[in-house]
Each structure stands twice: as structure tokens, then as C-alpha cells.
Structure 1
Amino acid sequence: MHMDLSPVWISLKTAALSTVIVSFLGILAARYIAFHCKHGKALIDGLLNLPLVLPPTVVGFFLLVIFGVRSPIGSLLMHWDIKIVFSWGATVIAASTVSFPLMYKTVRTSFELIDTNLMRAGRTLGSSEREIFIRIVLPLAWPGIIGGCVLAFARAIGEFGATLMIAGSIAGKTETIPVAIYIAMQSNDMQRAYLLVGIITAISLLTTYTLNRWLMHKQKYR
């Protein structure tokens, strides 16, 4: 019996792209909060972490409000023949939104653990803030950045609620592994459900195992 495994490919490419996006945005946000934010730090930090504490369906609702065809952003994109809702791009947006806080929190913690005397020494030697960030901060925070990427990838590949809200369950297009499992359970297709559960469990286990092995290797090397 032929088994459609397109949800596996959709989930993998969605998680991979969303990890790249949140890595870039998470590092920028963590840098600002850790080193430059002077006012409203607690409020901004709370807003950045909001997708982590909100129910995924609520996150999906907000995304629908933002990117729906009746919203200003959605209407503007429609003028360029770009439709976000019920597209593969919507799965990436949903995965990026829910996984961003994990990347941001991990990287921010790594930045704040860096000895500020090293940064002051760099300024004393005439280095610019950009050079200090690239040559001192990023190398010292590298384990945290890698850990944040792995956690963001694992969270993105398991995203369900927000994805179902904004992207739907279009077979071969927006049907990720968690959505496919839900659909299989609804239709009593237990064979497909067991297979997809086994696949996503294996991917998640391999992801966390790889992170643990890498961190143990780094600790031993140090």
C-alpha cells in the first residue's frame, strides 16, 4: 500500500527555513535586549516571549488577523499577488513565530553570561561595537546559539495549532507531520498515524541526541 510521506518533506523544509529565520532575528533581538535596551526592557522581553506562553491556536488567530486578506498587510500583499493564508509560506510563518522565543531566550542568556570586562577591553583597544560583537560576543556565545537553533528546529517541526489555523491541511502543500497525524486520527487511519508518529519521534530524538553529544564534546574539549 502506497503511503504519502509528503508531510515529512514539508515539515523538514518548513523547520529548516524557519530555523534560519529565527536564528537571524533571535540573535538581533537578543543583542538589543542584552546590550542596548535601556527602557521598557521587561515589556519588550515579555512581548518577544509571548508566543511561548500563548496557546498555539491564539497565536494562529493573531497571524490570521495580521496576514488575512482583509488586513492591511494581507491586502497589500494581494496587490502583488502574494497570498499568505493557506500557503506553504504560512507554515513557515507559524513555525517561526512559535519557535522564535526559544531561540531568543537561549541566545540572550548566552550573551548575558559573557564577561563584560572582555567587551570593555575591546573598546579600550579601539574596536567598534560591531567588531566586538563579531569577534568576542558571537564566538563566546556560539554553544548557546547552536543550542537555540536545535531547540527552534525541534519546536518548529512539532508545531500544530498555529499551523492548522493559518495554513490549514492542504495535502502536499501545507500538511505537516503533526497536521497529518491529526487528520489520520480523525479518519481512523491508524497505520498512517503510527508511521508518522514514529517518524517525528525519531527526528526529535535524533535532534536532541545530536545536541547533547555536541555539548558534551564541547565541554570535554574545554
Structure 2
Amino acid sequence: MIGLGPEEWTAIELSLRVALVATVCSLPFGVAVAWLLARREFPGKALLDAAVHLPLILPPVVTGYLLLLLFGRQGVLGAFLAERLGLVFAFRWTGAALACAVMGFPLLVRAIRLSLDAVDEKLEQAAGTLGAAPVFVFATVTLPLILPGIFAGMVLSFARAFGEFGATITFVSNIPGETQTLPTAIYSFIQTPGGDAQAIRLTVISIAIAFVALIGSELLARRLAGRLGA
């Protein structure tokens, strides 16, 4: 796009990378948690459900601070991961992806769970009575039926990750070229004298990307639903 500077391009590229990594990495966990909540009864189910949806209620700054306490260099998990695996989250783009994954996870789980609730369990039971293993039943019966919900959840999670600000800036700060995503870049330009033009350009770009993602997901979900209906 004409007129965009290197810093703006970097923020756009980093936002797309962070949102994509956050969505893809959280997908297996989202499917597993949604299946547990929809198909199993166990002690602590209400607690798990509340914990999953907690980021929707907590202020994003609180979520970011909790991540900093847990995954910071001196945090319980952060120190272990850095020492044993060399994996550092605090003030890195990987930390931004982690924060975005946490913020988008409730939306991902909810969409998939709603799809699971809409699936007739008799279909799964029928496959089980024919001798199919639970994993095979899920892969061949359940998964195809909930694909529209999975894609809907992925888009919601991606959109939430793409627009995340509070948890990201609290956990990984706003470092140009490393952790400065599109929202934090817009914030920086707003605070900079003469940065209004850059802020407006990035705002328009973020709106355009969001529209493309939402429209594309809707078309894909309808196509999948049509095939499954057929």
C-alpha cells in the first residue's frame, strides 16, 4: 500500500503472524476442551468452564499481568521454560501470540461447543455400536459435522487476537519490530505528534483485514454446511 513506512509494514506483518500462530496453536486445545465440556460430566466441570471464559470477563490488563507473573523470566513457568527449553515469552513476539491465544480461546471453545451440542449423539452412538473406536468415531462422524463451528471459532479467535491490545502491551510491552502489533502501533502513533495520518492508515487497514476475514469465513462456513447437508 502506497505511503506505508517500514514500521507500519512490520506492525501489520507481526499482527498477522501473531494472530495466525495464536489461532493455530490453540485450536487442538480448543477442540479438546469443547469436547470435554459438551460430552463429559466430571468433578470440576463448572470450574473448568469458568476458567475458560474468565478472559472474557477480566480486564485484559489483568490477564496480561497474570501472564507476566506466570510466564515472565522470573515467573514459575517462565523460568522453567527458559532454563530447560530456552523458550522465552516475556517481551517477545511469542509472548504476544500467547496473550492473544489466551484472549481468543473462550470464543474458540464456545463456537466449537455450540457445534458439538447441535450434533445428534445418536449418530456417534450408532458408530460406536458398530465397533468403531472413540477416536475413529470422532474423526469420521463428529469432526466433519462440526467443521463449520470450528472455522467460525477460528475466525472469532483470529479476529480477537488480531485486535488484542491490553493483555499484549502489559505482557510484552510495545517494542517496535518485536512486539509492536497493529493495535499498539496505532496507539503509539496517536501519542506521537504528527502521527495521525499513520494511525488512520493502520486503522483502515485493520478494518479491511477484519472484513475480509469475516466475509471469507462466512462463505467458507456456508460452503461446508452445504456439503455436509448434501
**Does the TM-score normalized on the shorter chain lie above 0.5?**
yes
Q: Are positions 1:196 and 2:210 aligned together? A: no
1:44 CA drift (Å): 1.1
| Distance across 2 between alignment mates of 1:201 and 1:182 | 15
The residue type paired with residue 104 of structure 1 is V
| Distance across 1 between alignment mates of 2:82 and 2:140 | 43
1:2 CA drift (Å): 6.2
Instruction: Map 1:19-168 to 2 at 5 A.
Output: 19-80=23-84, 81-168=86-173
Q: Is the 8 A contact 2:52 2:106 kept in 1?
A: yes
| Distance across 1 between alignment mates of 2:36 and 2:224 | 27
1:218 CA drift (Å): 4.3
Structure 1, residues 87-112: CA drift from partner, whole Å, max 9, x if none?
A: 11111101100001111010011111
| Distance across 1 between alignment mates of 2:72 and 2:226 | 50
The residue type paired with residue 212 of structure 1 is E
The residue type paired with residue 10 of structure 1 is L
Query: Pick from 12, 21, 29: which aligns with 2:16?
Result: 12
Q: Is the 8 A contact 2:37 2:49 kept in 1?
A: yes
Which aligned runs of 4 or more in structure 1 are off by greater than 6 angstroms? none
Q: Is the 8 A contact 2:63 2:167 kept in 1?
A: yes
1:209 CA drift (Å): 1.1
| Distance across 2 between alignment mates of 1:82 and 1:150 | 27
Aligned residues: 222
Q: Is the 8 A contact 2:151 2:221 kept in 1?
A: no
1:73 CA drift (Å): 1.5
Q: Are positions 1:171 and 2:176 aligned together? A: yes
| Distance across 2 between alignment mates of 1:106 and 1:123 | 25
* Secondary structure in 1 matching 2:28: helix
1:220 CA drift (Å): 5.2
| Distance across 2 between alignment mates of 1:75 and 1:152 | 28
Structure 2 alignment gaps of length 5 or more: none
Aligned residues with identical type, % of pairs:
34
Which residue of structure 1 lines up, in the alignment, with residue 216 of structure 2? 210
| Distance across 1 between alignment mates of 2:226 and 2:31 | 26
* Secondary structure in 1 matching 2:132: coil
Q: Scaled by the length of structure 2, what TM-score is found?
A: 0.91
Structure 1 alignment gaps of length 5 or more: none
- Cα RMSD (Å): 1.5
Q: Is the 8 A contact 2:147 2:224 kept in 1?
A: no
| Distance across 2 between alignment mates of 1:44 and 1:19 | 20
| Distance across 1 between alignment mates of 2:147 and 2:111 | 11
Q: Scaled by the length of structure 1, what TM-score is found?
A: 0.94
| Distance across 1 between alignment mates of 2:53 and 2:213 | 23
After alignment, is 30-39 or 163-172 more displaced?
30-39
